[in-house]
Amino acid sequence: MTAGHAHGVNHAVVIHGAHDVRVEERPIQEPGTGEVRVAVELGGICGSDLSYYRKGAVGDFRVVSPMVLGHEIVGEVDEIGPGVRGWDDRDRVVVDPSSPCGTCDRCREGRSNVCERPRFLGSAATTPHTDGGFANFVVARTANLVPVPARTASDVAVFAEPLAVTVHAVHRAGGVRGARVLVVGAGPIGSLLCATAHAEGAAEVVVADLDRQRLALAEAVGADRSAVVGEDDPGTEFDLVFEASGAAPAIADTLTRARRGGRVVLVGLPHGGPLPIPVAVAVPREIDLLGSFRFNHDEFVHAVELLVDGLPIDPLRTGTMAVTAAPDAFALAAQPTSMKVQLDFRAA
Ligand SMILES: [Zn+2]
Ligand SMILES: [Zn+2]
């Protein structure tokens, strides 16, 4: 069906432990039944990749053996496995990194993002770890592929995965149409939340962060107004508050910003010790406090649609570096002013 064009080397970005990212050669795999091989073009460095880089762990998931990082990838179908229909050599695709089991109670009720036996590209949640997508060639199930139309650039399409996180958060909130929205935290996820909330019809999107530079970027992609934490008052009586910083004081503060009967959606993974939750504020005002984690496949598909429709995420791209310079790319991504750093696999 296809000759394939997998020659040469397969460079992979491998985490060995904190501050130990190496570029190593890995064998090029043949796709099995129902699978294709993808020649990766670009990969986006995510907060979880950075956590493995900084601490050798994400939360309780510690790297105990070398693991290929990465779960935000776009590329071209390069080789087609047995029994695969509907995909052709050179089709451009983004890969949904999430492979839920499909059979547990949560999967059956349509909440595969909280699957009890999930697999996720580039994750140390299980041992042996699941290798990620930061390599020249990656094998993926066709169920995980979403096509990218010719008019959408790869450096835009590669935002699909973090954007899907924000699409899911908006669903958890019950939608944002006509709502006054506060987004706390203007990192990549908080900024993408501003873009999604704006695109999905929020009446007003206010963003709060400590860093002016980040706030300017969040405004460039969709926030109507910004507030520097500790200097400006973001306001109160919001219909919806999205917490995307994970900082303990910010999480406690969200409850005081929501209106009576409002909703607070926690998207950022908490860090920084025990969390004081002002329950006395939340109970009489009947505020819904909701967790939001990853996304379902249909939300990933919707994220691709938003990008194809021209969601203005370009300002969030900090830089692009060749895969062979991956350690430098991680050092850049770890800078507090960096948003998205992309790895380029095409040149290597
Ligand atoms: Zn990600
Ligand atoms: Zn499941």
Q: What is the 3-state secondary structure (H, E, C) of 184-239?
A: ECCCHHHHHHHHHHHHCCCCEEEEEECCHHHHHHHHHHCCCEEEECCCCCCCCCEE
> How far away, in angstroms, is 114 Cα from ligand 2 center?
7
Neighbours of 158 (CB within 10 A): 28
Q: Is the pLDDT of residue 49 over 60?
A: yes
Neighbours of 83 (CB within 10 A): 10
> How far away, in angstroms, is 282 Cα from ligand 1 center?
31
Neighbours of 316 (CB within 10 A): 21
- Place 348 in a pLDDT band, splitting at 50, 70 and 90: low
Q: Does domain 11-159+313-344 have CATH number 2.60.40.1190?
A: no
Tell me the ligand closest to 47's alpha carbon: 1
Distance between CA 134 and CA 119 in Å, rounded? 16
Q: Is the pLDDT of residue 137 over 50?
A: yes
> How far away, in angstroms, is 295 Cα from ligand 2 center?
13
| C-alpha gyration radius of the chain | 20
Token representation of residue 166 = 């924000």
Q: Which residues place a Cβ less than 5 A from the ion ligand 1?
A: 46, 72, 161-162
Q: Residue 249: its pLDDT value, please?
A: 85
> How far away, in angstroms, is 126 Cα from ligand 2 center?
15
- Nearest partner of 306 among 215, 170, 186, judged by Cα: 170
> How far away, in angstroms, is 110 Cα from ligand 2 center?
9
Write down the domain spans for the chain. Answer: 11-159+313-344, 163-291
305 and 148 Cβ atoms separated by less than 8 Å: no
Q: Which range (35-44, 177-186, 249-258, 300-309) has the least confidence?
A: 249-258
What is the mean pLDDT of the segment spanning 73-97? 97
Token representation of residue 2 = 């296809």
Q: What confidence tens digit (pLDDT) does each residue in 174-199 have?
A: 999 999 999 999 999 999 999 999 99
Q: Is the pLDDT of residue 220 over 90?
A: yes
What is the mean pLDDT of the segment spanning 279-287? 90
Tell me the ligand closest to 188's alpha carbon: 1
> How far away, in angstroms, is 287 Cα from ligand 2 center?
29
> How far away, in angstroms, is 245 Cα from ligand 2 center?
28
> How far away, in angstroms, is 8 Cα from ligand 1 center?
28
Mean pLDDT of the chain: 94
> How far away, in angstroms, is 10 Cα from ligand 2 center?
32
> How far away, in angstroms, is 278 Cα from ligand 2 center?
34
Q: What confidence tens digit (pLDDT) does each residue in 289-310 have?
A: 999 999 999 999 999 999 999 9
> How far away, in angstroms, is 281 Cα from ligand 1 center?
33
What is the mean pLDDT of the segment spanning 261-279? 86
Triad 141, 149, 94: Cα angle to 5°:
30
User: So what's the architecture of 163-291 in CATH?
Assistant: 3-Layer(aba) Sandwich (3.40)
Q: What letter would DSSP give residue 111?
A: -
Mapped onto helix, strand or coil, the DSSP state of residue 327 is helix
Tell me the ligand closest to 104's alpha carbon: 2
Q: Residue 337: its pLDDT value, please?
A: 87
Token representation of residue 234 = 């973001």
> How far away, in angstroms, is 188 Cα from ligand 1 center?
10
Q: When comparing pLDDT for 247 and 24, which is higher?
A: 24
Whether this prediction's pTM lies above 0.85 is answered by: yes
Q: Is the pLDDT of residue 5 over 60?
A: no
Distance between CA 119 and CA 98 in Å, rounded? 6
Tell me the ligand closest to 110's alpha carbon: 2
Q: Residue 275: its pLDDT value, please?
A: 77
